[in-house]
Every structure is written in structure tokens, then in C-alpha cells.
């Protein structure tokens, strides 16, 4: 089996992004016989979704897991829904700032993830990894790439399970902040993503 695993480049004045570090760590690794193809996406309104769809076309994966950072989240957040909305709290890395715009003007309001999120959640909890099922991937780049991916797979009639997992900040990122934000070690996050891959491989 082949899974495409994507992360994002750093954004919001941080020099690092845990999703990028995980993708680099698991690049070309085989987990339970699963081949992992990887891509790091730009935090860019125009190029982020395009880079993801390009990676999907190149890899032709049997499942796609996209990763990104959500600094205020305390646990690994397995996203259930992507909504057809762009409303950026901060500009993207190219300076684009959008408010109240649809991602796909003629697209549906939202897509549900097609990953087995309940099984992933149950497995992570059973393995002692803090996790939650989340109802919103936000209205920034992570939601945009999740929506664009699910829209593309639907339009192409490709039965490829796909979805998004948000990660907390790394301890070194939390230490840089003036206020207090939650964090999780890279090691725990990597264990969580490995278990998610194993669950998908067993489907």
C-alpha cells in the first residue's frame, strides 16, 4: 500500500513546523508494509492546494493524510470536516489576506473526511496518545488544502481515503511564546501519526 503524507512549511513567524519535521522523519520509511510518499506544502493561498494536488497526481496514493500545526490545540486533532470558506486571521507566507471568500464558488458547503477517524482516535487513545475528534480545521490554509483535496477526489471519482490531522506546537515553539500555549513532543506526535498510518493500512 502507498500513502501520501504531507506537512506544511513554517508560518506565523515560527522557524519550524512540527508537520514538516514529521514528514521529513517518515519520508521513505515503510510502516507495516506501507510505502510513505511525502510532500511539504507552501503556506500560500495559490500554491498550497496546487502543490498538494500535484503530489497526489505524481504519487497516485491509496490514502492521503495531510498534517499541519494548530498552536492553540493541546492534543492531536483529527479533523472531521473541511468547509468551503477562506477567512485568514493572518496573511499567508506570500502576504495574501482573504476574508469571507469561498474556496470553490460552485462547490458544496463542506466535505466530511473520508479517513477512518473514529478508529484512528480510538487507537491513539488506547496507545496513550492525547487526541480528539475536531469539528473544524479552521478557515486558513489547512482547511483550504483539506477542502481542495476532498473536492478534487470527489470530482475525479477517486475512492482514496483522505483527511487532515492538526498537531499542537512543539515544546521549543511554546517556550518562545510570551503567553502560555500547550505543546507536545515531536516523538509523541510521530508515534500518533505512525498509528494513524497503521489503522488506515488495516482498513
Query: How many Å apart are CA 98 and CA 87, to the nearest integer?
Result: 6
Give 132's strand partners.
77
Strand partners, 100: none
User: If residue 133 lies in a helix (H) or strand (E), which one and from where to where?
Assistant: strand 131-134
Is 47 catalytic? The answer is: no
Pairing of strands 2-8, 63-69: parallel
Give the separation between CA 200 and CA 203, rounded to whole angstroms: 5
Q: Is 28 left (phi over 0), alpha (psi -120 to 50) or beta?
A: left
Please give the DSSP secondary-structure letter assigned to residue 10. -
User: Which residues from 122-181 bind ligand PCA, rule CB under 6 A?
Assistant: 138, 140-142
* 111 is an interface residue for ligand PCA by CB under 6 A: no
- Between 123 and 143, whose beta carbon lies closer to ligand PCA? 143
Q: What's the closest the beta carbon of residue 20 comes to ligand PCA, in angstroms?
A: 8
Specify the length of the chain in residues: 203
- 24 belongs to the catalytic site: no
| Stretch binding ligand PCA (CB under 6 A), from 52-60, 62-70, 104-112, 150-158 | 62-70
Query: Which member of 9, 142, 151, 172 is catalytic?
Result: 142
Catalytic, 166? Answer yes
Q: What CA–CA distance (Å, rounded) separates 164 from 99? A: 22
Q: At what angle do helices 117-126 and 186-202 cross, to 10 degrees?
A: 130
Using CB under 6 A as the binding rule, the residues of this chain from 73 to 102 that contact ligand PCA are: none
Residue 200 interacts with ligand PCA (CB under 6 A): yes or no:
no
Which residue number, 2 or 89, has a Cβ lying nearer to ligand PCA? 89
The CA–CA distances, whole Å, from 24 to 7, 29, 139 equal: 9, 10, 26
Taking the least distance from each CB to ligand PCA, the nearer of 62 and 91 is 91
Q: How far is the CB of 202 from ligand PCA (least distance, A)?
A: 27
Selected binder of ligand PCA within 4, 5, 6, 17 (CB under 6 A): 17
Out of 3, 4, 6, 8, name the contact with ligand PCA by CB under 6 A: 8
Looking at 65-73, 113-121, 127-135, 175-183, which segment touches ligand PCA (CB under 6 A)?
65-73
Q: Note the residues at the interface with ligand PCA (CB under 6 A).
A: 8, 11, 17, 19, 43, 68-70, 138, 140-142
Catalytically annotated residues: 79, 142, 166
Amino acid at each position: 500500500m502507498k500513502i501520501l503524507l504531507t506537512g506544511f512549511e513554517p508560518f506565523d513567524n515560527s522557524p519550524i513546523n512540527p508537520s514538516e519535521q514529521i514528514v521529513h522523519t517518515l519520508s521513505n520509511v515503510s510502516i507495516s508494509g506501507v510505502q510513505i510518499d511525502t510532500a511539504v506544502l507552501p503556506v500560500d493561498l495559490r500554491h498550497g492546494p496546487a502543490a498538494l494536488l500535484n503530489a497526489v497526481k505524481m504519487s497516485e496514493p491509496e490514502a492521503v493524510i495531510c498534517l499541519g500545526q494548530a498552536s492553540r490545540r493541546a492534543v492531536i486533532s483529527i479533523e472531521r470536516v473541511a468547509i468551503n470558506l477562506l477567512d485568514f486571521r493572518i496573511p499567508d507566507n506570500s502576504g495574501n489576506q482573504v476574508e469571507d471568500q469561498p474556496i470553490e464558488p460552485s462547490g458544496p458547503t463542506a466535505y466530511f473526511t473520508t479517513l477512518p477517524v473514529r478508529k484512528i482516535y480510538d487507537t491513539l487513545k488506547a496507545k496513550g496518545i492525547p487526541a480528539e475528534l475536531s469539528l473544524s480545521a479552521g478557515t486558513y490554509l489547512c482547511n483550504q488544502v483539506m477542502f481542495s483535496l476532498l473536492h478534487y477526489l470527489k470530482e475525479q471519482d477517486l475512492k482514496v481515503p483522505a483527511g487532515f490531522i492538526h498537531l499542537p506546537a512543539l515544546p521549543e515553539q511554546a517556550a518562545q511564546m510570551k503567553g502560555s500555549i500547550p505543546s507536545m513532543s515531536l516523538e509523541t506526535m510521530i508515534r500518533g501519526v505512525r498509528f494513524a498510518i497503521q489503522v488506515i493500512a488495516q482498513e
